[in-house]
Structure formats: structure tokens, C-alpha cells
Amino acid sequence: MLKKLLLAGFVLGAVFVVSATPNVASAQTVPLSGYAWSSLPDGNNPDDDGAGWIKFSGPNYGVVANTFSGNLSGQAWSENFGWLSFDSADIAGCPSAPCQPNVNPSTRAVTGWARFIAAPTGTTDTWNGWVHLSDGSTYAVTYNSGTQEFSGNAWGENYIGWIKWKGTGYVVTMPPLTPPEATINVVVSPSNATWDIRLTDPPFTLIKSGVGNGTATVTPAVGGTSYTIVPGGAPSGYDYPPSVTNSQTSGSAATLTPNTSVTFTVTYNQSFNYSLSNSGDVTVEKAGIPKSPPDPQQTVTATRLSGSGQIITLTSSGQPSGVSITYSPLSGCTPTAGTPCVFTSTIFVQPTAAVGDYTITVTATPQGNGPVKITSFNLRIDPAPNLISSCSHTGGPNVGDNVTWTVAITNNPNPQPPYY
């Protein structure tokens, strides 16, 4: 009885000089509410009620849990012993580790210590105010996220005894530890483009993968967490890399805090593509003399189909020895929307070139990553005509005289009878 009276007097005195720091739920915490009950183990002395009723929330005070870590903080109020503190400053130097009171967000196990802060801090005093939430084997407070209720017992030495978190007509409750979320929106073009959302910092944890437009829900830290969008390979017909912007900055990374959002926009440009055609077959005579029409021009046309235009140059193959083909403009040409490139050929046939038909392949090569394309035409080389380079005659010339001519024929490997 004497101990109880002395204790009561101490506690009553403490109530007037000790105040709790207001601790109410915020966007990153959830509140505990309800009552726990404490009485001494033997129950033989009606005056030894232990802590009695312990209220976990009230005007301007309460115990809360961090939705990310599960750490408990704040104060509960005991009708007999005053403030029961879960704050880290008050539980420093607890009898055994871990000191930090905590509800594990994954396992829901409750560990750590709390302390009645009205108790003296001297180690020689039998009244120390420590409350152990779990010893890991014989007793523990537990949390059920389904019922949102605590149950089980905590233990307090010297005048405290068991603290029951659930009993007939009373219970301590807490909303589920669901951290405040943030939203990442992804807008892509074309619609079959793929992407990953990852943490920006190592180990670059994958958050979500997707195809086309999508949304990812994340749980950033209170101080902010950086997320990066990683585009997949370019869809067929599009160039890599794409342009990436977001609603915060122009880059592929953005920092989110709880209850915020960001939109990443990923845009692939269509690959450069074009058509290639030519004006048809060409016939020439040796030494490059046009046959028909009198001055034929062989042209090759490149027409843009998609993407940004690229400089195209032409080369040819398949011509025999003694034949050269060049295309103007020599430096190349860039086809644009509505304005194709038209290349004009120059074909020169030397006297040594063999007559016949030849398939000429024209190859178009873009300077960027556009496709290489070909077009073909037939080149026919005909023999050169008989040419009279000189002639002379003797006698007359008088009407009725006999005339003798000497004719020299050149540029014809297969001489034909002269025509004059």
C-alpha cells in the first residue's frame, strides 16, 4: 500500500510537469486508437491496478505508425501512470535491442519498447517505466491487417504488469499500413511500343513493364524517390532512340513524393523510307552516240514515303568494260514531302566496249539509317555506223568519164558496205 501511495503521489506530481508532444496522423502515418488494459499479475491487492486503462488517441495526442517503416511514435495516456511514450528520444537506452517500437509492414510483428516517461531514469530505482512489446518467444503484441486490430500482451516490470491490447469490450486498432502512393502515367507512340519503369538509382529495381499507354502505381519515400522510364526496342518501321519527356522535366527520370503524379511521353519517329524507280531502258551506239531518240536521258527518281529525308547517292553496276555511268547531282539529293529527287544519268561507251544487252543495277544509299534500295534497266550497246573519213578520185570529172574512189572506213569492228 505504501508503495502504491508513494507511486501515486509521484505520478500525480509528474502529471503536472510532464506534457506530451502533440502527434497526430499525417499523410505518411496512420493512427492507433482504442484502449489497452493493464493490471498487476497477482491481482491480490485491489490498490495495485497497474497502469489501468491506456488510451491511444485523444485531443492533440496519440500514437501513430509510419506507413513506410512501421515505426511507432507519439504517446498514449494511462489513467494511473500518465504518458506512455513511443518516441525514439524517450526509449533510447532501452534494456535490450531493438529499442524502436515497430509494426513490421510485411509480417505485422510488433517489436521494440515503450516507456512511461513519469518514471525516474535512475538505474537503481525499481520503478523504471519500461514496457516490452515482445520478447520474441513467450509473449508479444501482434497486428491483424484484416481486422485492423492488435492483440496479445506487452510486459512492464515493477508496478505495470501485463498490458493487454485486446479484451472483452476493448481493443487497440490501426488502419492497414498502406503507404501513400504516387502515379506514373506513360504515353507512347506508336501504340505497340514497350517500356519499363525502374528505380533511377542502383540496383535499378524493375517497377513495371508495359506495352502502349499505361499506368504504374508506386510508393515513393517521404523525401522523394526518383523513377526512370526505359524505352524498349524500336517497333518495326521506327527509329531508335525515341524522344522522352515528362511533365516535370525534359528527361527520362522524375522524382515523386507521396500523392503526386508524373506523365512520361515516349515518341518514336518513323524510319526514313522511299521508293526508287527509273525512266526505262536505254540503247546507245559505240562511242556513246545516241541511237533513238536522238538524245535520250535515263533518269532515276527517289520519292520519300515516310520519316525525315536523308541524302541519297547513286551508284551503278553491271555495265561492261569500256562503259561508264554517272548520276547528277554527284553529291546526292534529299527527297522531301512532295519533292522527289530526280537523278540524270550520263552514259559513255568507248569503242572497246562489246556490243550486247546488259542489266544495269542502280543502288541508292542513304547517308543515315534508311534502307538501301535498287532499281534496274537494260542497256543495249549497238555497233557504230560505217563512217567515211576521207575519199579521193582521179580523172575528169567530166560527164561520161569513169571515176575511181578510195574510201577509208573507221570505228567499225565489223565493216559493212559503205553507204553514200
The grid coordinates of residue 148 equal 485492423
For residues 209-234, give the mean pLDDT.
93
| Pairing label, strands 29-31, 194-199 | unpaired
Higher pLDDT, residue 284 or 150: 150
Asked whether residue 144 carries a pLDDT value surpassing 70, the answer given is: yes
For residues 35 and 157, state if they share a domain.
Answer: yes
Quick: pLDDT tens for 331-386: 999 999 889 999 999 888 888 899 999 999 999 999 988 899 999 999 999 987 76
Q: How many other CB atoms sit within 10 Å of the CB of residue 252?
A: 19
* pLDDT-derived band at 157, boundaries 50, 70, 90: confident
Q: What is the distance of C-alpha 403 from the center of its chain?
A: 96
Domain count across the chain: 4
For 31, half-sphere exposure in the C-beta direction (CA atoms, 13 angstrom radius) is 18
- Looking at residue 293, its pLDDT comes to 44
pLDDT of amino acid 292: 44
Q: Is the pLDDT of residue 221 over 90?
A: no
- Identity at 342, one-letter amino acid code: V
Concatenated DSSP letters of 126-170: S---EEESB-SSS-BEEEETTTTEEEEEEEETTTTEEEESEETTE
Domain membership of residue 88 as a residue range: 2-173
Average pLDDT over residues 387-406: 59
Cell of 357: 544487252
The SS3 call for residue 8 is: helix
Domain end point (choices 173, 198, 217): 173
How far lies 366's CA from each of 30, 300, 309, 316, in Å?
62, 15, 9, 15
Element (H, E) at 109: none
Q: Cβ distance 299 to 344 under 8 Å?
A: yes
158 and 260 fall within a common domain: no
Cα separation, 245 vs 17, in Å, equals 57
Q: Do 110 and 240 fall into the same domain? A: no
In this structure, the answer to whether residues 259 and 149 fall within a common structural domain is: no
CA-to-CA distance for 103 and 72, rounded, in angstroms? Answer: 7
Average pLDDT over residues 391-409: 59
Residues 343 and 212 in one domain: no
Q: Are 116 and 20 in contact (CB under 8 A)?
A: no
Give pLDDT tens digits for 6-18.
344 444 443 333 4
Q: Same domain, yes or no, for 311 and 368?
A: yes
**Dihedral, 98, 99, 104, 107 alpha carbons, nearest 10:** 40
Q: What is the pLDDT of residue 295?
A: 43
DSSP letter, residue 302: E
Cα–Cα distance, 175 to 103 (Å, whole number): 12
Amino acid identity at 205: T
C-alpha to C-alpha distance for 80 and 6, rounded to whole angstroms: 12
d(CA 330, CA 343): 9
Query: Could you tell me if 185 and 215 are in contact, meaning their C-beta atoms sit under 8 angstroms apart?
Result: yes
**Model pLDDT for residues 286-307, shown as the tens digit of each residue:** 764 544 444 457 899 999 999 9
What is the pLDDT, as a whole number, of residue 394?
Answer: 54
**Are the beta carbons of 384 and 286 closer than 8 angstroms?**
yes
pLDDT digits (tens, 9 = 90+) for 19-52: 444 455 555 789 999 999 998 755 455 556 688 9
Instruction: Check whether residue 165 and residue 96 sit in a common domain.
Output: yes
Contacts of residue 203, defined as CB under 8 A and 6 or more positions apart, other chains included, come to none
- Same domain? For 154 and 139 the reply is yes
Half-sphere exposure of 271 (CA within 13 A, CB side): 14
Mean pLDDT of 49-66: 93
pLDDT at 290: 47
Residue at grid coordinates 514531302:
337
Q: How far apart are CA 273 and CA 270, in angstroms?
A: 9
Question: Could you identify the residue written with the cell 517497333?
Answer: 235
Q: 57 and 14 in one domain? A: yes
Residues 143 and 165 both lie in one domain: yes
Each residue of 63-78: pLDDT tens digit?
999 988 899 999 999 9
Domain with residue 304: its CATH number is: 2.60.40.10
pLDDT digits (tens, 9 = 90+) for 320-339: 999 999 999 999 999 998 89
For the chain, give the mean pLDDT: 84
Q: What is the mean pLDDT of residues 196-225?
A: 93
- Name the grid cell of 215: 499506368
Of 301 and 388, more confident: 301
Domain-terminating residue out of 128, 156, 173: 173
Are 162 and 35 in the same domain? Answer: yes
Domain boundary (151, 173, 195) is at 173
Residue-level pLDDT at 102: 97
Q: What is the pLDDT of residues 72-105, one digit of tens each?
A: 999 999 999 999 999 999 999 999 999 999 999 8
- Looking at the structure, tell me whether residues 278 and 252 fall in a common domain: no
